[in-house]
Each structure stands twice: as C-alpha cells, then as structure tokens.
Amino acid sequence: MSVLPTQQGAKSVASQSASATRLIAPDFARGLTLLGIAMANVTTAWLSPRAPLPGASSGGILNNSVWDKVTIVLENMFVHVRGLPMFATLMGYGVGMIAMSLYRKQYPIGKARGVLARRYGFLALFGALHMVFIFFGDIMFLYGCVGILLGLMIGVSDKIMLWIAGGVAAFWVIFAVVGAMLVMIFSDSIANISNKNSQNSFFSQTQSGIANTYPEVLQTGALALVAQAIIFFLVVAPLIPVMILGFVAARHNVLGRVEEFKKQLLIAAFVSGFIIIGIGMPLGFSDIGVFSNKVNSSFTLMNTMIGIYSGPGFVAMAALATLPLQRRINTGSQQGETPKIPLFVRMICALGKRSMTGYLLQSIVFFIITAPFMLNYGHDRGAFFSTIIAIGVWLVTLFAAWIMELLGKPGPFEAVHRRLSYGKNGLYSQYPGGLIAPMQPLHVQPYAPHHDGPSTPAPRPGHFQPPVDR
C-alpha cells in the first residue's frame, strides 16, 4: 500500500471527509457558545459601566430597570461561566477527534504528540497576540496550552484520565464550597480590604475594556498575559476536568453515537441544570439586590469554580436537541438525499466551523464599537442594552460565517492556523512505515498496540498500549 504524504494525500482525506456525514452537534454547539461568550464578555468587560451601578459586575441596573434585572438574572443562570466551559469541553473533544484521525493515519504516538503540540502551540500563540493587542480576556492562550497537555496524554487510558478529571473536579468543588463558607463569614472584612486596594489600581481602570488609549490596552494585555503565565496551573486546573471529559468522549465518538450514550448525556445535562438553578439563580437574584452581599460573594465564588462543570452538560443539551435533525441527515445520506435543514441551524453551524474566526472577529467588532479612541459607544447603559449589543455583534459574525459558507471558504484564521500547524502539504494520509492493519471502530482508544515484530495483537476496547515511535 502506497503512502501519500503530500498534497495528493490531503486531497484524498478532504474527499473522504466531504463524502462522510458531518455531525452537526459540535458545530451547532460552538456557534451557540460564541453567542454566550459575546453576552458574557460585553457585560463584564467591553461595556462594564464606568459609574458604580447596582449589579455592575453583570452589566449594571440603570434607573431600576426591570429589563436590566431580568437580563442579569438570566445571564447569571445561562451565560456567565457557561459559554467558556462549553467551549473548553468542545476543544477537548476536538483534540480527541484529531488524535483519532492521526490514529487512523497510523501516526506513531511521538509523531502524533508533535502534531498536536504544533497545532495547539500555534493556538496559544494566536491567543497571546489577541490578548496583548486587542482583548485582555482572551481564552485561546490557556486553551492552547491545555491542548498541548492533552496531546501529551494521548497514551493514557480512559480510566486514568477520568480518575484525574474526577480528582481535580472534586478538589475544586470542595475548595469552592469551603471558600464560599469562609467568604460568607468574612465577606465584610474582605470587601473593605479589596475596595481600599483596588480603587486606584491600573487594572481597575482598564479591565472594563474602556482603556483611554491604545498603549493602555497594550499594557493591560501584556500584564494579563504575564499574570496568566505565572499562575497558569491555578487558572487552568478547573478547566482540565471538562477538557479531559471532552477528550475521552471523542475517543468513544459520543456525539456521533448520541442514542447509545443518551443516559450519560442526560446525566451531564442534569448536572448543568443543577448548576443553573442551584448556583446561577441565587447569584442572579443577589446581583439585583434580592439577597445580601454575603450571599452574592459566596455564590460568585461557587459560580466561578463550579460553574465550569456546566460545560459538558450544555454540549450534551446541544447533542440531544439536534438528534432528530441528525437522524434525518443520516437517513438522507444513506438514501442519497439531502434533507432540508433549517436556515438558522445551517448559519449557526457555519459559524461553529469557523469558531476561531468568529471569536476573534467579535473582539475586533467590540473593540471598534467600545474603545474610547474608536467609536466609544454604549457605555453607562445597563445590562439589557449591553446584551442587545452583544447579540448584534454575534449576528455580524454569524452573517460573515454564512457568507464564507456560501462561498465555500474556510475562516481566514482557521486557514492560517491549519497552514502553520500542518505545513503546506498537510498531514500524511498514511504515515510512512506505519502499520498496515484494519481500522478499529471509533470507540476504541486512539492508538492500537504497535510492535516492530511481524505480529500485531488486536487491541482490547478501553485498553491502551502506545506504538513504538519511529
């Protein structure tokens, strides 16, 4: 069997993927996640009120507006610390799917790790540039770094990875609960110290996304990058469980086998529902003044630490919600027919396919709209107005992605990222010298045992032995 390492191989892979039935759940989820990210960032960063307002941490309540209050409650339930962990889960799933693809191409484990390290190293680089030059609140830097870590773990069994995820998650949940209790007890003293130390700090003046000059933007972004690098593991640790869960789910092709994994997906959705009702709702009501500041401080901490674990559940909800449509697509594909997909679903999926471009584009649009040295629009309004702007920005990215979809073009940042990650000729369709063996089902671990000897025992599902690196 010949090996096609260059453009011919890339074209072969592209034709195969084009003929295959594409899952809509990951793209649909990513597209919706970008809406949540826009709504969360606009009220906490881009348009955070300059003047102190009730509920300022969630966008502010202007003139006791009912619309602002309703917006704050709903966003604390469904938006804040919801979109980013959902994105983190999907990124872990993406790492797993790439690892599976490399397995099918029979990449030795060392080479596969190298591919993943390059891909997510460049993602981290994109994130660092985005953080410094446009938006201090970038997430791609951290996600890229975690992607590298996951790449190093492709030789670890499901069982061990899930134990790691469970252990880290348990630690942070306990930490959050204990911390919330301590905050409840000592919140007044903490608040007084925090107010005295932050009133005149540079970050307090610029972290709202309204730095007065572009040099201030650069300074804030550089400081944020240095801070993330210094406390990297502290910041990343809460994200590791959801990314691992996404990674393991990809090994089992969960989003392609939704009906088989419906029970697990429903459990994940239930966990998210518990977080929405049990943490998000009290936080929202405390933000609008129904509960005390002590309650607000405690639930803010719990939402920050525990809210991350809503990510897999939101992905599960997207998979379950799109299941009937996926069935129609699968049936139509088998019969040679093209089922009718609602326009808004196709548009959201188009954005999901170009999530990096969509994410960076929304930062660029927000920057132009809100920066004092640009349009300087939308400040000192309330949460409802800010959310309307966020939806508008998301719609801009949605229509941009849809135009690219109609033109058959990838997102420009995805194209650059792929070129940097895989080179001009792309990946091998079959790694040179790789083992020629029947492909294993997707639910088997990404790498089968690989020996230099003439015989190759078949892998056991759920069992991993790394191939010998060549």
Q: What angle do CA 223, 392, 310 make, to 5 degrees?
A: 65
430 within some domain = no
* Number of domains making up the chain: 1
Residue 314 · residue 86 · CB < 8 Å: yes
Question: With a threshold of 0.85, does the pTM exceed it?
Answer: no
Residue 456 placed within a domain = no
Q: Is residue 98 part of a domain?
A: yes
Closest to 272 measured CA to CA, from 34, 78, 38: 78
* Confidence at residue 453, expressed as pLDDT on a 0 to 100 scale: 35
Query: How much is the pLDDT for 434?
Result: 54
Contact present, 110 and 469 (Cβ < 8 Å) = yes
Instruction: Give residue 106's region: left, alpha or beta (phi > 0; psi -120 to 50).
Output: left
DSSP count for the chain of H helices, then E strands: 20, 0
Cα separation of 275 and 281, whole Å?
9
- Residue 16 maps to a domain: no
Q: What local confidence, expressed as pLDDT, does residue 60 receive?
A: 87
Residue 48 domain boundaries:
21-422
pLDDT recorded at residue 433: 67
pLDDT of residue 5: 33
Task: Say if 457 falls within a structural domain.
Answer: no
Residue 81 included in any domain: yes
| Assigned domain for 110 exists | yes
* CB contact burial 77-99 (16+ within 10 A = b; e otherwise): bbbbbbbbbbbbbbbbbbbbbbb
Q: Using 50 as the pLDDT threshold, list the residues of the chain that sit under it.
A: 1-19, 193-209, 435-470
Residue 29 domain-assigned (yes or no): yes
- C-beta pairs of 285-288 under 8 Å, 24+ apart in sequence: 285/73, 287/55, 287/57, 287/58, 287/72, 287/73, 287/76, 288/54, 288/55, 288/61, 288/69, 288/72, 288/73
